[in-house]
């Protein structure tokens, strides 16, 4: 059974965090999360990420304007566990074996100061090293360390666009070319 991982993005300020929150969502998707919950109202973020998903494949979703405490408590009541990423937490290598055992995991990342309540509600407060850096970096490293299979080689179903890795330049196959190729191969 595929693990269920969702990312809860806190503290997004529409006037200044658009790019970084979009990157949180795209990183969550690229490294194998099922979806992202945005605890702020910025429908454009949802639209942008879902538009990317429709072109690049998979079934990643975004839910806009969720109520953070309600979502955390609901997730836990349904048997899910919660890992809040914070530079003040226990270091990831000391938490990774517990995190890997979870079949339903919510990963929380902040933007500005995260409310104290989140530290209390989380099942783990986990640092990706105890130095300040970025929610995007913290999420990517965590997703990579807890993955069962290498997330860098995971396929994305129903993609309109697929990159063909090349040593130089850019090669992208469009869905219709791929279908044509598969037809001639059979
Ligand atoms: N100063 C803020 C605070 O004390 O909550 C954190 C701001 S930081 C730019 C934004 C987010 O990046 C944090 O909420 C956390 O999720 C993540 N982050 C930054 N450094 C981290 C680290 N070393 N380990 C884990 N997460 C980190």
pLDDT in tens, 88-106: 999 999 999 999 999 999 9
Looking at the fold, whether 150 and 165 belong to one and the same domain comes out as no
Residues 90 and 176 in one domain: no
Pull the structure tokens for residue 100.
């890997």
Asked whether residue 1 carries a pLDDT value surpassing 70, the answer given is no
Q: Which residues of 112-129 are buried (b: 16+ CB within 10 A; e: fewer)?
A: eebeeebeebbbbbbbbe
Task: Indicate which CATH number applies to the domain containing 11.
Answer: 3.40.1280.10
Pairing relationship of beta strands 61-63 and 161-163 according to DSSP bridges: unpaired
CB of 85 shorter than 6 A to ligand 1 = yes
46 in the same domain as 26: yes
Do 119 and 61 lie in a common domain? yes
Same structural domain, 70 and 146: yes
Please tell me whether residues 113 and 42 are part of one structural domain: yes
| Ligand 1: nearest atom to the Cα of 129 | 23
Q: Are residues 150 and 74 in the same domain?
A: yes
The whole-number average pLDDT for the span 18-29 is 98
Q: Which residue has the tokens 């690229």?
A: 30
Q: Whose CA is nearest to atom 14 of ligand 1?
A: 110
Write down the pLDDT at residue 23.
98
Calculate the alpha carbon distances from 172 to 16, 52, 166 in Å: 32, 15, 10
Please identify, by atom number, the ligand 1 atom nearest to the C-alpha of residue 126: 25
6 Cβ inside 6 Å of ligand 1: no
Mutate to test the pocket of ligand 1, among 20, 27, 86, 127 (most ligand atoms within 8 A of CB): 86
Q: pLDDT, tens digit, for every residue of 139-169?
A: 999 999 999 999 999 999 999 999 999 999 9
The pLDDT value recorded for residue 175 is 86
Q: Whose CA is closest to 59, among 41, 78, 83, 36?
A: 36
Tally the domains of the chain: 2
CA 87–ligand 1 middle distance (angstroms): 6
Largest CA distance in the chain: 59
pTM reported for the whole predicted model: 0.94
Distance CA 154, CA 47 (A): 24
Claim to verify: residue 45 and residue 134 sit in the same structural domain? yes
Residues 115 and 180 occupy one common structural domain: no
Q: Looking at the structure, tell me whether residues 47 and 130 fall in a common domain.
A: yes
Which runs of E-coded beta strand occur in the chain? 4-9, 35-38, 61-63, 81-91, 104-109, 124-127, 161-163, 172-174
146 and 176 assigned to the same domain: no
pLDDT value of position 176: 76
pLDDT digits (tens, 9 = 90+) for 27-84: 999 999 999 999 999 999 999 999 999 999 999 999 999 999 999 999 999 999 999 9
Compute the distance between CA of residue 45 and CA of residue 36 in angstroms, rounded to an integer.
11
pLDDT confidence tier of residue 129, bands split at 50, 70 and 90: very high
Same domain? For 174 and 89 the reply is: no
Question: Residue 183: pLDDT band by 50, 70, 90 thresholds?
Answer: low
Domain limits for position 11 = 4-154
């Amino acid at each position: 059974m595929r693990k269920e991982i969702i990312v809860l993005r806190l503290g997004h300020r529409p006037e200044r965090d658009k790019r970084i929150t979009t990157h949180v969502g795209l990183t969550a998707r690229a490294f194998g999360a099922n979806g992202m919950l945005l605890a702020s109202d910025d429908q454009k973020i949802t639209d942008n990420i879902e538009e990317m998903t429709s072109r690049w494949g998979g079934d990643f979703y975004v839910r806009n304007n969720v109520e953070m405490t309600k979502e955390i408590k609901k997730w836990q009541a349904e048997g899910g566990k919660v890992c809040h990423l914070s530079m003040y937490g226990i270091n990831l290598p000391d938490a990774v074996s517990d995190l890997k055992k979870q079949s339903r995991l919510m990963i929380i990342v902040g933007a500005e100061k995260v409310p104290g309540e989140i530290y209390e509600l989380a099942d783990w407060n986990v640092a990706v090293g105890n130095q300040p850096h970025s929610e995007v970096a913290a999420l990517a490293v965590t997703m990579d360390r807890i993955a069962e299979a290498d997330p860098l080689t995971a396929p994305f179903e129903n993609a309109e666009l697929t990159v063909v890795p090349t040593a130089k330049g850019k090669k992208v196959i469009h869905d219709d070319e791929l279908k044509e190729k598969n037809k001639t191969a059979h």
